[in-house]
Amino acid sequence: MTDSPAGDIEFRGYKLTPVYGRAPPAARDDIVGMWLAAGVLAPDEARRRVDEVVYTIRSPSGELAGVNTVYVQDVPGGAGPYYFYRTFVRPADRGVPGLTTAAFKAAVALLRGHPHPRSPRGVVAIVENAKLARRGAVARMKRVGLHLVGRDAQGRDVWCVKFDGTVPVAPPGLLKPV
């Protein structure tokens, strides 16, 4: 993974570009178009969510291959505001080893220094993909600093990394025990 002076990150021929809070119109159109073509979001939700994109991920051919997004929300139980993290990568690009890990690490690094008015304390990832419960995926999540804090009401694993480096504790009301 290499950084360029413009803030782009090169990873296995893919280019990750930071756009949080400043996505140009052409990138916004590409993002909405990708989500609509994949059928993962309704048009209104896609247009709303484009403001949450942290990095765009372009394939070696220059096509938009994926994005990561965050929204700020208070964690129930008084733990304060956190960034809640999501990733979407087109099916054709999902087999690139380490791509989503590189995108996550880039997002955390950018968000750690981002001057958000609510001062989020870290990043929460609620895992919806059952494949991410496999031993190898769990080991990767731990290597990037994520801590499994429990499961949400729907039984999905909830992972967290705090910006201050401390180990997160599951607040009451958010999680049921693992």
3-state secondary structure 85-150: EEEEECHHHCCCCCHHHHHHHHHHHHHHCCCCCCCCCEEEEEECCHHHHCHHHHHHHHHCCCEEEE
Q: In the prediction, which pLDDT does 171 show?
A: 67
The whole-angstrom distance between residue 108's C-alpha and the CA centroid of its chain comes to 8
Q: What is the pLDDT confidence band of residue 115, given thresholds at 50, 70 and 90?
A: very high
Report, as an integer, the average pLDDT of 146-169. Answer: 89
* 172 against 28, higher pLDDT: 28
Q: How far is CA 49 from CA 54, 133, 153, in A?
A: 11, 26, 24
Q: What is the pLDDT confidence band of residue 77, given thresholds at 50, 70 and 90?
A: confident
Distance CA 101, CA 138 (A): 12
pTM of the predicted model as reported, rounded to 2 decimal places: 0.90
Does residue 102 register a pLDDT over 50?
A: yes
Does residue 118 register a pLDDT over 90?
A: yes
Does residue 61 register a pLDDT over 50?
A: yes
Q: What is the pLDDT confidence band of residue 175, given thresholds at 50, 70 and 90?
A: low
Short-list 68, 54, 69, 57, CA closest to 13 = 57
Each residue's pLDDT tens digit, 30-43:
999 999 999 999 99
Q: What is the pLDDT confidence band of residue 5, given thresholds at 50, 70 and 90?
A: very low
Q: In the prediction, which pLDDT does 76 show?
A: 74
Instruction: Tell me the residue type at 134.
Output: R
Segments making up each domain of the chain, as ranges:
2-162
The number of C-alpha atoms within 13 Å of 121 and in the hemisphere containing its C-beta is 14
Q: Report whether 91 contacts 50 (CB < 8 A).
A: no
Report, as an integer, the average pLDDT of 46-74. Answer: 98
Helix (H, G, I), strand (E, B) or coil at 33: helix
Does residue 170 register a pLDDT over 90?
A: no
High-pLDDT (> 90) share of the chain, %: 71
Q: In the prediction, which pLDDT does 172 show?
A: 66
CATH architecture for the domain at 2-162: 3-Layer(aba) Sandwich (3.40)
